[in-house]
Chains A and B, each alone.
Chain A
């Protein structure tokens, strides 16, 4: 028996080894190991920036300011707010609060994630983070289920004593709410004030003059996909004076009944002066309250619009650190009082929706404001406001592209309208390159496939515009109710779609699918109500709680995504915000609800995106987002039978709920998934997913599209603008065979050498964001199984005559490496003068044709072909060849001159030496030296400097100027250029014969003279040796 057991064990072991070996053969590379040097680039825009949630100033250094954003992470300014830099890219980008440790403000930063301005589109947090090195590295401290953190307060006498106010979940019940305290720097936490699982801490303030006194505002609130409630009997303002042991409500003077969200502040210059802004059951009680006795009593001061507007969105009040009577309340425009809160006026013009304000520490004229449109600063006490121009934290809901060259990117933004702009521009993509195409909140923007017409919309399809770009003519075209129609329900972010089959076709979704065949002039409903039509989710006028808030943001039971198959125009998919997936195979005559076939998907989970496959008309992908039901799981499914059956394509590799998916159009196994925390890519149809993190922040990817000509992935992120990964075609080739090779070169298309240029303007770029352009270089792309660290590795380019034309910098990372060649060849060797000949720095462009790239790695050599082509832009081949011929001629002349000057320099040195050594015939030697010097002075500049002290141009300068002029163009040299060449040739020839005469008649005599001395004869380098060195 024992032997059998032993045998079994042995067998098991054998099987185990086998499986282990089998597993070994499969290479699964994740993230940076796979993507190597493939990098995302950001094109912003930053001109409208995006929502700022929290501002924090350094307590002692006025140059340093932090901005927490709604979806773009944490940004730091080290120059008093002129520019900001992102410092939190690897983590969740929705920020609640940023707090500096008052004892180590240069180093220790605490970030509570999860925005607390709880609009419908707000993202979610991922806990509490800490940096001990000024934001270079971060550790997660906990509070994983906190959803949103409103306050962090640190004892200025003890950095280990920290209080955290957790607002908690917006979309459901949660016990992780209230006030927490640590006395060991964050290792352990005690929940010291908790009300219930619906009420969270929305503001936590420590008395700046007494760390044992804290104030905590609690707010009862809840959002669903179709409604919002602010207020309840549990909302209250609490105070502790014993470091959190006991808490008491301080409501003496406040009305009874339900309360909503509080704004709260202590005047830093007087701990008895408190300000609170209340949301109550009665309008007359709303607004500003003040206490002059540290909360013992309250008096009501003001209920102006600026004080009471949308408390869930604006509940921040800030007191001037130097004057207890100057207070600013965030709001639609922001309101400032200089009389202790009795009267207010608006702050200077800036983007509306002010969420936070900060005063500079030692100059109250300097004020910073965080708005829905970025950070603003004032230098005149809030009178005028200036936007920070380098924060591309724009929040796109959607993105699309066209097929222009360069292609344009279209999309709409939270509170910032709709825009389109080029993905590249001379000198980079700047604010000025973006064109507005809509008002209000912007969402989907689509370019007509064949006409210069753009469709764009505002919230709830209140307006859908058809914009004729050439005629600059706008027409609104949203579907309108006809006789017998019920009220049309459009989502806040209403779906629109084009048809690849019929360019004038245009779809819109309310609860019905609307189709127009004439670009929106005539509409036809081609479906019944495709939603659940649940009446209990349609009472939006009751939304808001204590303050009604029916903006349209909660419209529900609506279609959210529409997909017409590119293979069959009769196959159309719709997905709704109440979780219904329906499909028609006959252009809308009959619809099938396939929702029940989605195994594992909770009922009514928002269908965010449906992607109709381009490979098979029965295949589609559906992405669901459950976060509005407090469900943050990832849901992405694939069907291959029109929705009869679905397979989940989600693995544990993915973090965060998903909103978007893009199928590659060449390799069906290559998919891109946008989640709330970034981009994931699979190369095997969803068996494994890798997070793409190369210059890609962990921002919410709301929409992904792919540009067909360039194979670019274009993402509309809700917090970091438009982010692009150029040419993802190498990913199509990734498979096990490739991953098992030591080196694999990916196929690349022939490179068309870019000739479009133009003038770049750099004005403003000192402080403005400039989007990075794609590289137009020829690319050599390869996979390395292992990072190259030891021994030589080089890469060289050879032409078809096997002449080396360029040396490139080989990429050495494990994974995918991209090496760029700007198709420039080596520059000429230029004659040595006193100053530089700038024209001589020009490198001739390579000639179109076939090249060979040779990579040497240790002892191994690899070769890969590369083809360059001319741009097809009307320049004839004969003209191009003439340009190349003349360039080559001038290149050779430049090097001939360099060699001639080299020889002359040698001869001058030699003669000067000789002069010192001889006693007879000195005059003869001196005369030769003078002759050589005189000649040299006509060949190269021998005086002056490189700026305005330049000397008169000599042959070298004239020659290299012409060389550079002709090498820098693509056309046949002009008549003027050829005449100039002739003149230079004439001068050069004269110089040559002059030189020959000096050499033969005068210098030769010196050689004879030298033979009688010890002066060494010149050992001239050959021309080739001279050029090489």
Chain B
């Protein structure tokens, strides 16, 4: 009797498992977080929150639009700085020292155009149309939870002049098909080749869609207080500010 039960249970499990594909998991994910159609309708999101690093809380505003434009605005001592801004043509940052806008490398901009521009609101939403591939690699324990591990392959990017694959791994909690972690390869610098893990939690509903309100990345957590869907935007925000014509007087350095 016990054996029969076990066999039945096993058969059910295997049957279930065999049918699960990456697409099933993604469909479930979109279904459970508001429905594909509603995700498709989304034109932009604005997130307001804090990045904290041990006591230091830095106010942050992230804006992403369907057309690829985006910015991250952080505030320090009442000064606002723009990071990772894309105006549809180039990526730029505010330099911390001079507080002036500086363009990122052509390679960085081209890589951004290759993939991230299409990733709104999720790289999985229209992955086939965008030429990405997904693959279910199997099960893995992540954050202590049983997860499906899905590999996402995007268009290759250039790293210091050499073409490299663009791959990331998403962990979908088996219980609810929600991604709770993602791993990406660090592409350059001293940590090149190591994986960077981000985790997502505190999912909540905004306008019928579910978003994670808490993200961590290499120990630096981002907590989101407010998410605004389809925000009104001022196109000027994305443009590189022009340098002042007359530089401010600089007092003699002592």
| Nearest CB on B from A831, distance (A) | 8
Known A136-B169, A827-B56: A945·B97 in contact at CB below 8 Å: yes
Q: Does A488 contact B (CB under 8 A)?
A: no
Q: Is the Cβ of B52 less than 8 Å from the Cβ of A792? A: no
Whether A814 lies near B253 (C-beta < 8 A) is no
Q: Check A807–B56 contact: CB distance below 8 A.
A: no
Q: Which of B195, B204, B216, B249 touches A790 (beta carbons < 8 Å)?
A: B204
Q: Is the pair B55, A33 in contact by a Cβ cutoff of 8 Å?
A: no
Interface residues of B in 72-89 (CB under 8 A from A): 76-79
Asked if B201 contacts A832 (CB within 8 A), the reply is no
Cβ-based interface call for B199 (8 A) = yes
Q: Answer yes or no: A943 CB below 8 A from chain B CBs.
A: yes
- Taking residues whose C-beta sits less than 8 angstroms from the other chain, chain A's interface range is 35 or more
Contact with A along B84-124 (1 / 0, CB 8 A): 00000000000011110000000000000000000000000
Taking the nearest CB of chain B, how far is it from the CB of A957, in angstroms? 12
**Chain A: minimal CB distance from B146 (Å):** 8
CB < 8 Å: which of B164, B201, B248 contacts A812?
A: B201
Q: Please give, as numbers and ranges, the residues of chain B lying within 8 Å of A950 by CB-CB distance.
A: 253
Q: Which of B97, B194, B195 has the most CB of A within 10 A?
A: B97
Residue in chain A with minimal CB distance to B160: A63
Q: Collect the chain A residues with CB atoms within 8 Å of residue B221's CB.
A: 809
Q: Are B77 and A949 in contact (CB under 8 A)?
A: no
Q: Contacts of B76 on A, CB cut-off 8 Å?
A: 836
Is the pair A791, B251 in contact by a Cβ cutoff of 8 Å? no
Q: Does A815 contact B (CB under 8 A)?
A: yes
A825 within 8 A of B: yes
A79 touches B192 (CB 8 A): yes
B178 touches A789 (CB 8 A): yes
Known: A9-B1, A136-B169, A841-B56. A948 touches B98 (CB 8 A): no
Q: Indicate if the CB atoms of A107 and B165 lie closer than 8 Å.
A: yes
Partner of B56, one of A843, A943, A947, A952: A843
A789 near B201 with CB under 8 A, answer yes
Q: Which residues of A contact B169 (CB under 8 A)?
A: 136-137
Chain B residues, CB < 8 A from A827: 55-56
Bound together, the chains give a CA A791 to CA B204 distance in angstroms of 6
* Beta-carbon contacts under 8 Å, B134-193 to A: 137, 141-145, 151, 162, 164-165, 167, 169, 173, 176, 178, 180, 185, 190-193
A983 sits at the interface (CB 8 A): no
Interface residues of A in 933-965 (CB under 8 A from B): 943-952
User: CA A12 – CA B2 in complex, angstroms?
Assistant: 9
Interface residue ranges of A776-832 to B (CB < 8 Å) = 784, 786-794, 806-807, 809, 812-815, 820, 822, 824-827, 830-832
Chain A: CB-nearest residue to B169: A136
Q: Is B250 an interface residue (CB 8 A)?
A: yes
Tell me the complex Cα distance, A36–B145, Å: 9
User: Of B141, B173, B192, B253, which is within 8 A of A31 by CB?
Assistant: B141
Are B79 and A812 touching (Cβ within 8 A)? Answer: no
Question: Does the CB pair B190–A83 fall under 8 Å?
Answer: yes
CB distance from B151 to the nearest CB of A (A): 7
Does residue A133 face the partner (Cβ distance < 8 Å to B)?
yes
- Cβ distance B110 to chain A, nearest Cβ, rounded Å: 19
Whether B213 sits at the interface, judged by CB under 8 Å, is yes
The reply on B214 being an interface residue by CB < 8 A is yes
* Complex CA–CA separation, A943 to B249 (angstroms): 7
List residues 235-254 of chain B with CB under 8 A from any CB of chain A. 248-251, 253-254
Is the beta-carbon distance between A943 and B97 smaller than 8 angstroms?
Answer: no
Per the bound structure, the CA–CA distance linking A79 and B142 in Å amounts to 30
A52 to chain B, nearest CB (A): 18
Residues in B whose Cβ lies below 8 Å from that of A784: 144
Decide: A806 and B143 in contact? CB cutoff 8 A: no
- List of A residues within 8 angstroms of B204 by Cβ: 790-792
Out of B54, B79, B199, B250, name the residue touching A949 (CB < 8 Å).
Answer: B250
Q: Which residue of A lies closest to B140 (CB)?
A: A32
- Binary interface encoding of chain B residues 1-15 relative to chain A, with 1 for a CB under 8 A from any of its CBs, else 0: 110010000000000
11 more A-B contacts (CB under 8 A) besides A33-B141, A791-B203, A793-B201? A12-B2, A16-B2, A784-B144, A788-B202, A789-B203, A790-B203, A791-B202, A792-B202, A793-B202, A837-B77, A946-B96
Q: Which residues of B pack against A, CB within 8 Å?
A: 1-2, 5, 52, 54-57, 76-79, 96-99, 137, 141-145, 151, 162, 164-165, 167, 169, 173, 176, 178, 180, 185, 190-195, 199, 201-204, 213-214, 216, 221, 223, 248-251, 253-254
Interface residues in chain A, defined as those with a beta carbon under 8 Å from any beta carbon in chain B:
9, 12-13, 16, 31-34, 36, 61, 63, 76, 78-79, 83, 85, 87, 106-107, 133-134, 136-137, 766, 784, 786-794, 806-807, 809, 812-815, 820, 822, 824-827, 830-837, 840-841, 843, 943-952
